[in-house]
Amino acid sequence: MGNKQLKAGDALPAFSVTDINGREVSNESLKGKETLIVFWRFAGCGICATNMLPFTAHLKDIDNTNIVYFYSSDEDKCKTLQEIVPINDNIHIVADPSRKIYDLIDI
């Protein structure tokens, strides 16, 4: 099990990962920035992707919030998400098939 289950406003535990576009995402790079972290189980699941559409429809309107998606899927499946998730400098999709980040914060 991980360190603890986070609540809104808690500091992130130390981590560093690379998103599917090769950009580093870490607790340090997000420090002091409003951040929404989203955990989804399967990037390749059609039902999961469909359920995500109402949420992602509003993401292009969010300019100042960092959004980090963690998926317990491999990188190839996560790359298909670029079709439904608008990618910009503040939005990151991270493949986490070994669930290291999930375990780190007890998801």
Q: Phi-psi category of 99—alpha, beta or left, where left has phi over 0 and alpha has psi -120 to 50?
A: left
- Distance, in Å, from the CA atom of 29 to the CA atom of 45, rounded to the nearest integer, reads 30
Entry pTM:
0.71
Residue 15 in tokens: 């981590």
User: For residue range 14-26, what is the model confidence (pLDDT) as tens digits?
Assistant: 999 998 888 899 9
CA dihedral 23, 25, 30, 35 (to 10 degrees): 100
4 vs 18 pLDDT, higher one: 18
> In the CATH scheme, what is the code of domain 30-104?
3.40.30.10
Let me know: does 72 contact 99? Beta carbons within 8 Å. yes
Question: So where are the chain's domains?
Answer: 30-104
Let me know: does 106 contact 14? Beta carbons within 8 Å. no
User: For residue range 45-79, what is the model confidence (pLDDT) as tens digits?
Assistant: 667 667 767 766 666 666 667 778 777 676 776 76
User: For residue range 77-103, what is the model confidence (pLDDT) as tens digits?
Assistant: 676 666 666 666 777 888 888 888 888
